[in-house]
């Protein structure tokens, strides 16, 4: 009898464990192929006859979680699902990296696909943005923490999105970029976290033309130099045709699991130029302001200028409870201790000077001018570097990129 009881208890325990273990508990050590199986397929809304499809991962959590959006380079979107096959970004779906997210139970991951004939430097922008926004609206995404990641021409997509919708995104990561952050863009994204990765000897994404000038411009206009990072190296692993191009494993493996040993002269600095040790990409982009678990996914305080579109309005946006405190006072608003003055006799009579609060007059300190960095642009927004890409799109090296 005792053996039967023990056997039943073991069965129940096993069943409980199978139910309790979340579906996304695959460990890093199980490999990239196993981690890719956790991703699902999705499609953004059709905008002007065009939409963006993507692969996505959702964490096991009832609380708001940050959203990390990745865009690949040339050839990463030739067919549906390829965007997932050719990137190691799914490492971030591992149990280890999900647990690294600050003030969250995990991270949503989204890998956009740019279908031919487009790459992310020319792909229609509105469908890209609406795919992200639609996903955030239909999942429990913390809208205070939506970050963009892009490699090569995917970094161009990051630059286009964040400069057009700077209020919507909290972070932007440029991996071996073939784009430059201009002064006008830097002013728009002065409150956005930025991290740039590039090798000095990259033969396709030229460090001294793209990465370094972008970092310098960012340090001038950012509102917080602690929110700026530049990671550089002398050499990086990669194919024989595009030398020293593959810096992205540093991001995908979050500077861990021995990945740093593959790079010679690896160095990371902040916006002050100070060398940083023990860097952590996930911590950098998920730290900072966040939506507490008790908050609803979309509160009025979360709304940004780019969020306030007609499609966002809900029937509950116009309720009597939204009445502003500037409504005329009714007789019942008078307190019993308020002295009865002649001016109180006529409710409709305009407020007398005695109604003004002595502490309310604006002091000179209240009229603070806007940030000098945002009001003046030391470099013209028509900087030639921002208008032209000296490296041809038809560069043979670009055609061989995975």
Which domains, and CATH codes, for the chain? 32-288 (3.40.50.1820)
Residue 115 pLDDT: 86
Region 89-116 average pLDDT: 96
Residue 9 pLDDT: 56
Residue 77 pLDDT: 82
Q: Give the lowest-confidence range in 125-129, 168-172, 369-373.
A: 369-373
Q: Quick check: 371 pLDDT over 50?
A: no
**Residue 265 in contact with residue 200, Cβ under 8 Å?**
yes
Long-range contacts of 272-279 (CB under 8 A, 24+ apart): 272/219, 272/225, 272/226, 273/219, 276/229, 279/229, 279/231, 279/255
CA quadruple 101, 105, 106, 108: dihedral sign: negative
Smallest Cα–Cα separation from 119: which of 169, 68, 156? 156
Residue 55 pLDDT: 97
Region 282-299 average pLDDT: 80
Q: Quick check: 334 pLDDT over 50?
A: no
Residue 26 pLDDT: 95
Residue 196 and residue 177: Cα distance in Å, rounded? 8
Region 225-241 average pLDDT: 89
Higher pLDDT, 29 or 377: 29
- % of the chain exceeding 90 in pLDDT: 61
Residue 71 and residue 175: Cα distance in Å, rounded? 10
**Structure tokens belonging to residue 126:** 């509105």
pLDDT (tens digit per residue) in 149-207: 999 999 999 999 999 999 999 999 999 999 999 999 999 999 999 999 999 999 999 99
Q: Quick check: 22 pLDDT over 90?
A: no
Confidence of residue 132 (pLDDT cuts 50, 70, 90): very high
pLDDT (tens digit per residue) in 268-289: 999 999 999 999 999 999 999 9
CA distances (Å), origin 395, targets 205, 243, 257, 359: 11, 14, 34, 66
Q: Quick check: 307 pLDDT over 50?
A: no
- For tokens 């109604």, what's the residue? 355
Residue 90 pLDDT: 97
Residues 6+ apart with CB under 8 A from 112: 52, 54, 69, 70, 71, 83, 120, 128, 131, 132, 157
pLDDT (tens digit per residue) in 353-367: 334 343 443 443 343
Checking DSSP bridges between strand 40-43 and strand 53-57, what pairing results, if any?
Answer: antiparallel
Q: Quick check: 56 pLDDT over 70?
A: yes
Beta bridge partners of 43: 53
Average pLDDT, the chain: 78
- pTM of this prediction exceeds 0.75: no
CA quadruple 377, 382, 388, 390: dihedral sign: negative
Highest mean pLDDT among 13-17, 222-226, 329-333, 369-373: 222-226
Region 22-37 average pLDDT: 86
The H or E element spanning position 54 is: strand 53-57
Residue 63 pLDDT: 96
Q: Quick check: 255 pLDDT over 90?
A: yes
Q: Give the lowest-confidence range in 3-7, 87-91, 255-259, 303-307.
A: 303-307
Residues 6+ apart with CB under 8 A from 326: none
Q: Quick check: 390 pLDDT over 80?
A: no
Q: Give the lowest-confidence range in 43-57, 203-217, 326-340.
A: 326-340
Residue 102 and residue 104: Cα distance in Å, rounded? 6
Confidence of residue 293 (pLDDT cuts 50, 70, 90): confident
Region 59-75 average pLDDT: 95
């Amino acid at each position: 009898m005792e053996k039967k009881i023990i056997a039943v208890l073991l069965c129940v325990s096993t069943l409980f464990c199978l139910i309790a273990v979340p579906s996304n508990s695959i460990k890093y050590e199980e490999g990239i192929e196993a981690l890719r199986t956790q991703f699902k397929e999705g499609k953004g809304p059709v905008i002007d006859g065009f939409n963006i499809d993507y692969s996505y991962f959702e964490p096991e959590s009832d609380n708001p979680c940050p959203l990390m959006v990745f865009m690949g380079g040339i050839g990463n979107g030739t067919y549906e699902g390829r965007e997932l096959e050719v990137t190691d970004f799914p490492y971030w779906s591992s149990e280890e990296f999900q647990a690294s997210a600050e003030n969250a139970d995990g991270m949503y991951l989204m890998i956009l696909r740019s279908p031919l004939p487009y790459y992310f430097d020319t792909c229609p922008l509105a469908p890209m943005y609406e795919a992200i926004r639609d996903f955030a609206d239909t999942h429990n995404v913390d809208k205070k923490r939506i970050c963009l990641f892009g490699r090569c021409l995917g970094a161009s997509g990051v630059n286009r999105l964040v400069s057009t919708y700077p209020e919507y995104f909290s972070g932007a990561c440029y991996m071996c970029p073939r784009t430059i952050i201009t002064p006008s863009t830097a002013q728009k994204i002065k409150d956005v976290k930025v991290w740039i990765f590039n090798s000095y000897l990259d033969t396709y994404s030229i460090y001294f033309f793209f990465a370094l000038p972008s970092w310098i411009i960012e340090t001038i206009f950012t509102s917080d130099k602690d929110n700026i990072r530049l990671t550089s190296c002398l050499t990086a692993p990669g194919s024989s045709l595009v030398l020293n191009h593959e810096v992205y494993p540093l991001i995908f493996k979050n500077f861990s699991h021995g990945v740093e040993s593959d790079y010679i002269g690896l160095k990371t600095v902040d916006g002050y130029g100070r060398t940083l040790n023990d860097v952590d990409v996930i911590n950098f982009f998920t730290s900072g302001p966040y939506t507490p678990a008790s908050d609803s996914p979309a509160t009025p305080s979360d709304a940004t200028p780019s969020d306030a579109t007609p499609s966002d309005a809900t029937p509950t946006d116009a309720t009597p409870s939204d009445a502003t405190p500037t409504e005329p006072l009714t007789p019942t608003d008078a307190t019993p201790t308020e002295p009865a003055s002649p001016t109180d006799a006529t409710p409709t009579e305009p407020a007398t000077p005695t109604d003004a609060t002595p502490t309310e007059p604006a002091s000179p300190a209240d009229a603070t001018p806007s940030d000098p960095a945002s009001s003046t642009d030391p470099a013209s927004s028509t900087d030639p570097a921002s208008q032209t890409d000296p490296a041809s799109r038809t560069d043979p090296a670009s055609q061989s990129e995975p």
